[in-house]
């Protein structure tokens, strides 16, 4: 990645102390935030598709949380039928366009690819998926139609990946769906929580509009669970309820409150919604605490906005980071420094952050231990990305480890209530897993509402 920086640091540039807007001009910012993985051309797609062995019992399918028939869609591309390939993808994953952009394919389908095992160079499954889905979505027409109306009405809480996947599958099966969304826009983390260079040109909203083309789905904004609406009220007014509200709470460092310290998710959301990137203030020296994708996205985008120095501090070794090795290398290539085996222990500054004091860690008999060896990082800004939690849990739902406990098909302990996505265990905070959980919950809801499950059990 080539970062655009002012040549001499004069004027309002990277050398401006403190937190400042306009560190880079509009042209440099546009280049920095350009599409990180431009789409394949027709010729490139055919060449990439030709590398697939079209394996029987393909391991890439097993590695995909949504179980897309990858060899089939690649064969369809290879035979000049990308629209058919897209339908194969969307049949399993209605957010296949977004997943092609943000899914960690390097640790899922592409890691399982036979070509990866044999040559260390897998088939470019993610880019081929984007190639096919972009072509079909550009045509505008929705590839699926609704079944006959069932007369049943389902409430979905949250218009993120899990909620949208659930709503779409329910609508396709003939149910009417009302999505209750707290924020002004739908899309969840796809809209508010993913690095801008991964989804440029408003793709999250374009995909949302395209998905709603199925019909039968209404989104009501400003409807936060526990405030504007209650679970009890939703259960009374609907035949079923799906909870896909994600994790609204943010874990804090607990080291005091200085200006310049904020949650990384807030910074990413602000950046994603900014009309002018040049107006976003960024520090000259930025520290990010955490080891997941949110930490990587916050750190890389800080650098892209013009920060001189950006350092990620993670408490364990790099091999324990939730962010993939590919994403770590991307951050390093962007000029981000990763300090592993360390934790912040104190913040310095009177009113505004000036430095972050850290201590090295080690694995001890009782777990992770903080050593007496310390170092200090000068910092104008500190972004905290050490995890999120449920903002609030309605009565009657079992919670363990900060997430709603669910059984088969996403069923909670409350009659008529299902859940999926980041608010439940096992999602690994991935868009693709949230889609799978929302889709599967929709199928279970449909079975419960129509009696299909009982009919199958009686066979």
Query: What is the DSSP annotation of 143-201?
Result: S---------EEEEE--SHHHHHHHHHHHHTT-EEEEEESSSSS-THHHHTS-TTTS-T
Radius of gyration of the chain (CA): 23
pLDDT band at 458 (very low <50, low <70, confident <90, very high): very low
DSSP 292: S
Cα(110)–Cα(108) distance, rounded to whole angstroms?
6
Q: What is the pLDDT of residue 202?
A: 93
More confidently predicted of 228 and 302:
302
Q: How confident is the model at residue 15 (pLDDT cuts 50, 70, 90)?
A: low
Question: CB neighbours of 121 closer than 8 A, spacing ≥ 6?
Answer: 115
Residue 256, CB-side half-sphere exposure with 13 Å CA sphere: 16
Per-residue model confidence (pLDDT) at position 366: 85
Q: How many helices (H) and strands (E) does the chain have?
A: 18, 19
What is the Cα–Cα distance from 445 to 154, expressed in whole angstroms?
9
Mean of per-residue pLDDT scores for the chain: 92
Look up residue 288 and give its DSSP letter. Answer: E
Residue 177 is encoded by which pair of tokens? Answer: 């769906």
Question: Rounded to whole angstroms, what are the CA distances from 155 to 168, 188, 418, 440?
Answer: 12, 17, 10, 16
Share of the chain above pLDDT 90, in %: 82
Cα–Cα distance measured from residue 97 to residue 320, given in angstroms and rounded to the nearest whole number? 29
Q: pLDDT value at position 14? A: 54
CA distance 14 to 27: 15
Task: State the Cα–Cα distance between residues 388 and 375, nearest whole angstrom.
Answer: 27
pLDDT value of position 3: 53
Question: What is the dihedral sign for C-alpha 255, 257, 261, 262?
Answer: positive
Find tokens 């909620």 and name the residue: 163
What per-residue confidence (pLDDT) applies to 453? 52
Contact 292, 247 (CB under 8 A): no
Residue 341 DSSP one-character state: S
Residue 9, pLDDT score? 41
- Work out the pLDDT band at 2, boundaries 50, 70, 90: very low
Tokens linked to 417? 């209530």
Averaged pLDDT, 213-237: 95
pLDDT in tens, 130-184: 999 999 999 988 999 999 999 999 999 999 999 999 999 999 999 999 999 999 9
* Domains of the chain, CATH where assigned: 42-138 (1.10.1060.10), 153-248+390-458 (3.50.50.60), 252-384 (3.50.50.60)
pLDDT band of residue 227 (cuts 50, 70, 90) is confident
pLDDT at residue 6 above 50? no
Mean pLDDT of 211-228: 95
Whether the per-residue pLDDT at 392 is higher than 90: the answer is no
CB hemisphere CA count around 150 (13 angstroms): 23
All residues at 6 or more sequence positions from 91 whose CB lies less than 8 Å from its CB, including other chains: none
At 454 the pLDDT is 44
Tell me what percent of the residues of the chain surpass a pLDDT of 70. 94
Structure confidence at residue 247 (pLDDT): 87
User: In this predicted structure, which of 94-103, 154-163, 393-402 has the lowest mean pLDDT?
Assistant: 393-402
pLDDT value at position 237? 96
- On whether the CB atoms of residues 383 and 302 are closer than 8 A, the answer is yes
Instruction: Determine the distance from the C-alpha atom of residue 387 to the mean position of all C-alpha atoms in its chain, rounded to a whole number.
Output: 13
pLDDT at 457 over 50: no
What's the full length of the chain, in residues? 459
DSSP state letters, 185-238: SS-THHHHTS-TTTS-TTHHHHHHHHHGGGSSEEEEES--BTTTB-HHHHHHHS
Model confidence pLDDT, tens digit, residues 266-277: 999 999 999 999
- Do the bridges between strand 261-263 and strand 381-384 make them parallel or antiparallel, or are there none, so unpaired? parallel
Out of 97-106, 135-144, 248-257, least confident range: 248-257
Give the Cα separation of 197 and 36 in Å (integer).
6
Res. 228 pLDDT band, cuts 50 70 90: confident
pLDDT digits (tens, 9 = 90+) for 298-346: 999 999 999 999 999 999 999 999 999 999 999 999 999 999 999 999 9
Instruction: Check residue 7 and give its pLDDT.
Output: 39
């Amino acid at each position: 990645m080539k970062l655009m920086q002012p040549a001499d640091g004069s004027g309002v540039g990277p050398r401006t102390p403190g937190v400042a807007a306009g560190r880079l001009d509009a042209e440099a910012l546009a280049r920095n935030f350009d599409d990180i993985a431009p789409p394949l051309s027709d010729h490139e797609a055919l060449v990439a598709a030709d590398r697939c062995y079209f394996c029987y019992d393909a391991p890439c399918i097993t590695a995909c949380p949504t179980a897309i028939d990858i060899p089939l869609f690649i064969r369809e591309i290879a035979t000049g039928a990308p629209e058919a390939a897209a339908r194969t993808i969307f049949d399993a994953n209605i957010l296949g366009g977004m997943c092609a952009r943000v899914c960690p394919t390097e640790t899922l389908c592409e890691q399982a690819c036979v070509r990866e095992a044999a040559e260390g160079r897998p088939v470019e499954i993610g880019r081929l998926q984007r190639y096919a889905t972009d072509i079909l979505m550009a045509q505008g027409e929705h590839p699926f139609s609704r079944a006959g109306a069932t007369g049943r009405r389902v409430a979905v809480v949250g218009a993120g990946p899990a909620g949208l996947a659930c709503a779409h599958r329910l609508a396709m099966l003939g149910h009417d769906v009302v999505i209750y969304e707290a924020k002004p826009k739908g899309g969840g983390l796809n809209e508010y929580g993913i690095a801008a260079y991964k989804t440029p040109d408003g793709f999250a909203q374009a995909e949302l509009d395209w998905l709603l083309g199925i019909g039968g789905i209404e989104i009501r904004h400003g409807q936060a669970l526990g405030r504007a609406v209650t679970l009890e009220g939703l259960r009374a007014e609907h035949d079923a309820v799906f909870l896909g509200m994600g994790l609204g709470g943010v874990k804090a460092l607990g080291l005091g409150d200085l200006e310049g310290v904020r949650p990384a998710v807030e910074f990413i959301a602000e950046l994603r919604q900014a009309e002018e990137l040049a107006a976003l203030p960024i520090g000259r020296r930025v520290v990010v605490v955490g080891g997941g994708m949110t930490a990587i996205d916050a750190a890389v985008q800080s650098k892209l906005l013009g920060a001189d120095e950006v350092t990620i501090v993670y408490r364990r070794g790099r091999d324990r980071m939730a962010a993939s090795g590919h994403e770590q290398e991307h951050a390093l290539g962007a000029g981000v420094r990763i300090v592993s085996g360390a934790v912040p222990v104190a913040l310095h500054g009177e009113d505004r952050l000036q430095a972050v004091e850290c201590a090295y860690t080690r694995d001890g008999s009782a777990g992770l231990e903080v050593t007496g060896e310390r170092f200090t990082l000068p910092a104008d800004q500190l972004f905290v990305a050490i995890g999120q939690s449920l903002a609030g849990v309605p009565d009657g739902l079992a919670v363990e480890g900060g997430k709603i406990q669910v059984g088969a098909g996403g069923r909670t302990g409350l009659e008529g209530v299902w859940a999926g996505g980041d608010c439940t265990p096992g999602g690994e905070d991935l868009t693709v897993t949230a889609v799978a959980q929302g889709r599967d919950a929709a199928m279970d809801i449909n079975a419960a509402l129509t009696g299909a499950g009982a009919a199958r059990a009686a066979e």
